Amino acid sequence: MAIWVIKDKQREGPYEEQDVRELMYEGTYSNTDPAIRDGQFDWSTLGQVLAREPSSLEPTPSPLPPIAEPPPLLPPEEPIAHEVVFEPPVPATSPDLPTPSSPPPPLRVTVVDFQMSLGSMVIFMVKWMLACIPALLILGAIVAIFWGACIALLSALLR
């Protein structure tokens, strides 16, 4: 089952149990790092998640400072892409974990200027006009049907 670990105020994972044990052996994680396993609802220490109690040889860590609000997923200047990411459940009552926040409102963008060469601008305008042809054909057909119906109605009334 997948395991997630919080290290340096960042959620890391998912890891398999063997990978977490190797990372602990290398010193990347310790028994006291906050962790959660798939299917659990409460965060606990990595030692408890792996059913290991912290070793008496490890120094007692100082309490973790509160984790600040996570930064937005993308900076405003980058285009917004839709991505599906699975994250384990985070209890809302835990004071040392970030609380989920609502997504930022959509950004309103005003285009002030285009910086294009003349050749690129001409190609852009030609493509734009070609894209308008189907819309103009459909609009022309609607107008022709409307005027045809009006002329047929007027000719029927005048007879």
Give the pLDDT confidence of 33-64 residue by residue, as tens digits. 888 888 787 888 888 888 744 343 344 444 55
Regarding whether 133 and 55 lie in a shared domain, the answer is no
Q: What amino acid is encoded at 124 in this protein?
A: F
> How many independent structural domains does the chain possess?
2
pTM of the full predicted structure?
0.33
Regarding whether 79 and 1 lie in a shared domain, the answer is yes
Phi and psi at 132, nearest 5°, equal -80, -15
User: What are the structure tokens assigned to 69, written together?
Assistant: 């609000």
* Residue 23 within any structural domain of the chain: yes
Regarding whether 91 and 37 lie in a shared domain, the answer is yes
What does DSSP assign to residue 60? Answer: P
> What number is the average pLDDT over the span 89-113?
65
Q: How far is CA 34 from the centre of its chain?
A: 24
Dihedral angle, C-alpha 125, 127, 132, 134, nearest 10 °: 160
Helices (H), the chain: 17-26, 46-49, 118-158
Per-residue pLDDT at 52 = 47
Q: Does an H or E element contain 39, and which?
A: none
